[in-house]
Each structure stands twice: as structure tokens, then as C-alpha cells.
């Protein structure tokens, strides 16, 4: 799989230095600067330490199953901002190039927040997932209908169970219990950062659920 991150540091050079520092115990296969420059840091066939404690579709050793791309952006802590056009163009080109060498399904092109909800929020709600998918990489859907009342933390019942089952089927760590707990809220927020970017509040409104259903169909 491919896992996209933002660096979450004050500058690109600072992030590059950290990724190249053995003492930091963190690494990624690539770093993409804001001006579009691409740095190859770890060979694709080697493990890089970028995902940390993570999970997707029953797999927990994400570092051993993924290629990590760090995208220079100060992140939410240091002044989160839109990703420049040159940078996104470079990311799209890089992803396309990587996929010529590896068999990576669109449903396995993910954000760090997808594989580590509640712990990570990058690359965040400003990353243009729709643009990436329109270029042929990743999933994106635009469902027509968005029926139903919102579900939120504290609620219980069959609707919550079905929601959790849907997230589990897509790949998230969200075992169905029928109780909308803090873990479910974190998963909903992660999903929204990727596929419902105009609303990142952890509330599963009708559009959030409609997009989940449409994505399950697209990934089938």
C-alpha cells in the first residue's frame, strides 16, 4: 500500500534532516518538497519507519507492507496550509511511477490518519484526495443521496453497528459493537479527513454514511 503523510515541521530542510537522522528512529521512502523536488530516502523494497502503530484490513505491520511518502507541510501544529500545485503534481507523478513497479490497489492508497485514526491526522483535510483520484490514483466518490439522521458519540443500536461494520469492511480498525464510542468518533474523523473534507467533526451524518456506502461499492 501507499501511505501519504505531511511532515508537520516548520520547514522542508528540517524535515529532511530528521528523516535522515538515525537517532530520530523515523524514516520514509520519499520526501516531496513544496516546490516539487522529490528526495528518495529509502529503497522501495526496504522497510521505512513511517506508519508507526497502525492498521488496515486486518494488517498491523503497515511499515512492512507500504511505501511512505512524506509531503512537506507545516501541519496543524505549525500553520497548516494548502499544498502547492507544483507539489501535488510531483506527488501524482511519483505515485504513478511507484505503481509501475508495484501492484497497489486504489483502495490501498491512504493517509496516515486512515491507518492510525485518533493518533495521527495527516495529511489532513486540505490534501486534494479528489485530484489524486481523478489522476487515476485512489478512490473518490460523489454519491447523490444522503438520507438519514446523524449518528454521534454516545448513541447505540443497529445503525451504529452497521456503520462500524462498514468502516471495518473498508479497512479501518472499527470492530462492530453497536456503541458509538471514542474509537468510532476517531474513525469517522479520519474518514472525513479523506472523503468528507468539508466536515471533520466525528459525526456520521447522512453524507458521511452515503460516501462510505459508495466507497464500499467502488472498492468491491
pLDDT digits (tens, 9 = 90+) for 163-200: 999 999 999 999 999 999 999 999 999 999 999 999 99
- pLDDT of 145 > 90? The answer is no
pLDDT number for residue 220 = 83
In total, the chain counts a number of residues equal to 220
Cell numbers 520519499: residue: 30
Residues 74-117 have pLDDT tens digits of 999 999 999 999 999 999 999 999 999 999 999 999 999 999 99
Inter-residue contact 122 to 74 (CB < 8 Å): no
pTM for the whole structure: 0.96
Long-range pairs for 92-97 at CB < 8 Å and ≥24 separation? 92/131, 92/132, 92/135, 92/137, 94/30, 94/32, 94/38, 94/69, 95/2, 95/69, 95/132, 95/137, 96/135, 96/136, 96/137
Catalytic annotation, residues? 70
Cis (ω within 30 of 0) for the bond into 123?
yes
pLDDT per position as a tens digit, 5-22: 999 999 999 999 999 998
The answer to whether 159 touches 174, Cβ cutoff 8 Å, is no
Q: Do 179 and 156 form a contact (C-beta atoms < 8 A)? A: yes
What per-residue confidence (pLDDT) applies to 147? 73
Amino acid at each position: 500500500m501507499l501511505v501519504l503523510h505531511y511532515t508537520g515541521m516548520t520547514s522542508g530542510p528540517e524535515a529532511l534532516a530528521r528523516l535522515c537522522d538515525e537517532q530520530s528512529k523515523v524514516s520514509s521512502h520519499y520526501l516531496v518538497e513544496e516546490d516539487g523536488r522529490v528526495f528518495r530516502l529509502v529503497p522501495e523494497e526496504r522497510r521505512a519507519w513511517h506508519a508507526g502503530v497502525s492498521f488496515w484490513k486486518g494488517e498491523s505491520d503497515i511499515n512492512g507492507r507500504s511505501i511512505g511518502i512524506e509531503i512537506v507541510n507545516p501541519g496543524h501544529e505549525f500553520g497548516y496550509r494548502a499544498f502547492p500545485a507544483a507539489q501535488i503534481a510531483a506527488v501524482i507523478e511519483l505515485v504513478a511511477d511507484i505503481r509501475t513497479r508495484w501492484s497497489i490497489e486504489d483502495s490501498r492508497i491512504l493517509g496516515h490518519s486512515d491507518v492510525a485514526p485518533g493518533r495521527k491526522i495527516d495529511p489532513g483535510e486540505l490534501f486534494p484526495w479528489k485530484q489524486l483520484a481523478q489522476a487515476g490514483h485512489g478512490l473518490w466518490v460523489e454519491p447523490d443521496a444522503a438520507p438519514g439522521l446523524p449518528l454521534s458519540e454516545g448513541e447505540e443500536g443497529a445503525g451504529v453497528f452497521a456503520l462500524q461494520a462498514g468502516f471495518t469492511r473498508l479497512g479501518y480498525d472499527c470492530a462492530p459493537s453497536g456503541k458509538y464510542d471514542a474509537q468510532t468518533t476517531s474513525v469517522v474523523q479520519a474518514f472525513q479527513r479523506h472523503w468528507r473534507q468539508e466536515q471533520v467533526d466525528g459525526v456520521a451524518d447522512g453524507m458521511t454514511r452515503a460516501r462510505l456506502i459508495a466507497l464500499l461499492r467502488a472498492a468491491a
